[in-house]
């Protein structure tokens, strides 16, 4: 274990609310690290609707999810936040008053005076297809991600899906696998046309198989897969022999390990007070879609407001001896200095 990263504030979730919180915290001289399970910054805005319009950001009549993310990144640039992507926070332990030890699934460790949960709908995790009994094969024969390709050498692999993940892994694993079958519900793929073309060439050359239909059941014993039952679009049933299955059905939001972080939960949301958006644990705050309070609205603008108030209280934990004087960015030369505009 490498040494813990020390920070004023650790933010869990790099969606719009987490990003804007960096701004409000930065104005008050607090340094921030952010952890996000996605491989990119922006949360739902970047993952679910990068190209879709948002019309209710004050002062911005129209912006896309990606556009908002880019603008927020530009806005917080002066504060130099550090991002830790592709990582999920597994545990939060209170070790001081307040001081928290936060560990991620990548083995990283942080020591933060304040923790801000801005995890939206929870963490994005791979969707599990509705195949009866699939749980019994997960981790032994069924995998939702490829971490080490070598693991799949000489395997008889069934890849399910029609997007880039399915096609990319079909092409990447093809040289080392014993045999690859790609299964999709229609003979039309949303993956990059170039990958689809490569796949079709391999099929035409007899080097892999393409099947159209949906998996309805699995065969095997003790976690070891031997085949998958397939229902074709003509409703005909058949079996595909395989010892490994890789389903790529996109991501879904799951609450994830929030339940293990020691904060109170109410219907999978984190209750907070409305003065500082602090949880039942002093020093742990929750802002954005993940929190709940009387009158809560799941709007990005509400999350921005919550971040601003959170920062005021966080300042007391990070700088217990400093008095906080409220200032406007419009007129305060010291705030403008921090923003690099003066």
Partner 1 sequence: MAKIHFIDHSGEKRTVEIENGATVMEGAIRNAIPGIEAECGGACACATCHVYVDEAWREKVGAPSPMEEDMLDFGFDVRPNSRLSCQIKVTDDLDGLVVSTPERQA
- What residue ranges bind partner 1 (CB under 8 A)? 44, 48-49, 52, 121, 127, 129-130, 161-163, 184-186, 188, 190, 214, 233, 249-250, 252-253
Name which of 137 and 285 has its Cβ closer to partner 1.
Answer: 137
**Any idea how long the chain is?**
342
Cα 73 to Cα 76: distance, rounded to the nearest angstrom: 5
Residue 7 or 44 having the CB closest to partner 1: 44
Q: Whole-number minimum distance, CB 298 to partner 1, in Å?
A: 9
Residue 205 vs residues 62, 168, 175, 202, 239: alpha-carbon distances, Å? 49, 18, 14, 5, 22
Q: Which is nearer to partner 1, 32 or 41 (CB)?
A: 41
Gyration radius of the chain over CA positions: 24
Q: Tell me the C-alpha distance between 203 and 215, whole Å.
A: 20
| 87 close to 233: Cβ distance less than 8 angstroms | no
CB of 77 to partner 1, least distance (A): 28
User: In whole angstroms, how close is the CB of 231 to partner 1 at the nearest point?
Assistant: 10
Nearer to partner 1, 249 or 293 (CB): 249
User: If DSSP codes are grouped into helix, strand and coil, which group holds residue 198?
Assistant: helix
Give 251 or 265: the residue with its C-beta nearer to partner 1.
251
Min dist. Cβ of residue 165 to partner 1 (A): 11
In terms of CB distance, is 49 or 319 closer to partner 1?
Answer: 49
Please say which residue, 184 or 315, places its beta carbon nearer to partner 1.
Answer: 184
Give the 3-state secondary structure of 284-300: EEECHHHEECCCCCCCH
From the CB of 193, what's the least distance to partner 1, in Å? 13
In the chain, what are the helix, strand and coil shares in percent, each to the nearest 5? 30, 30, 40
Residue 166 Cα to chain centre, angstroms: 19
Q: Which residues pair with 124 in a beta bridge?
A: 253
Smallest distance, partner 1 to C-beta of residue 170, A: 15
Q: How far is the CB of 233 from partner 1 (least distance, A)?
A: 8
Tell me how many degrees the CA angle 128-227-135 measures, rounded to the nearest 5.
30
């Amino acid at each position: 274990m490498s040494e813990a990263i020390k920070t004023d504030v650790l933010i869990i979730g790099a969606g719009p609310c987490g990003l804007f919180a960096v701004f409000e915290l930065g104005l008050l001289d607090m340094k921030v690290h952010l952890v996000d399970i996605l491989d990119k910054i922006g949360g739902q805005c970047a993952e679910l609707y990068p190209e879709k319009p948002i019309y209710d950001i004050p002062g911005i009549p129209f912006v896309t999810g990606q556009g908002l993310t880019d603008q927020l990144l530009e806005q917080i640039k002066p504060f130099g936040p550090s991002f830790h992507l592709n990582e999920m926070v597994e545990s939060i332990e209170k070790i001081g008053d307040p001081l928290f030890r936060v560990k991620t699934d990548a083995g990283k460790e942080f020591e933060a005076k304040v923790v801000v949960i801005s995890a939206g709908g929870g963490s994005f995790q791979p969707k599990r297809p509705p195949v009866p009994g699939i749980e019994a094969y997960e981790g032994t024969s069924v995998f939702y991600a490829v971490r080490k390709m070598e693991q799949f050498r000489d395997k008889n692999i069934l890849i399910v899906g029609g997007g880039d993940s399915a096609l990319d892994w079909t092409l990447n694993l093809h040289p080392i696998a014993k045999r690859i079958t790609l299964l999709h519900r229609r003979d039309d793929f949303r993956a990059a046309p170039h990958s689809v073309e490569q796949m079709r060439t391999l099929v035409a050359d007899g080097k892999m198989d393409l099947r159209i239909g949906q998996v309805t059941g699995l065969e095997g014993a003790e976690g070891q897969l031997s085949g998958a039952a397939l229902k074709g679009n003509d409703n005909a049933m058949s079996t595909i022999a395989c010892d490994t299955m890789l389903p790529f059905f996109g991501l879904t939001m799951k609450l994830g390990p929030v339940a293990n972080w020691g904060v109170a939960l109410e219907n999978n949301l984190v209750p907070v007070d409305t003065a500082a958006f602090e949880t039942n644990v002093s020093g742990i705050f929750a802002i954005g879609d993940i929190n709940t309070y009387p009158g809560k609205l799941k709007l990005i603008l509400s999350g921005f407001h919550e971040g601003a108030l959170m920062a005021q209280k966080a300042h007391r934990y990070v700088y217990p001896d400093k008095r906080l004087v409220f200032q406007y960015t419009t007129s305060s030369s010291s705030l403008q200095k921090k923003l690099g505009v003066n």
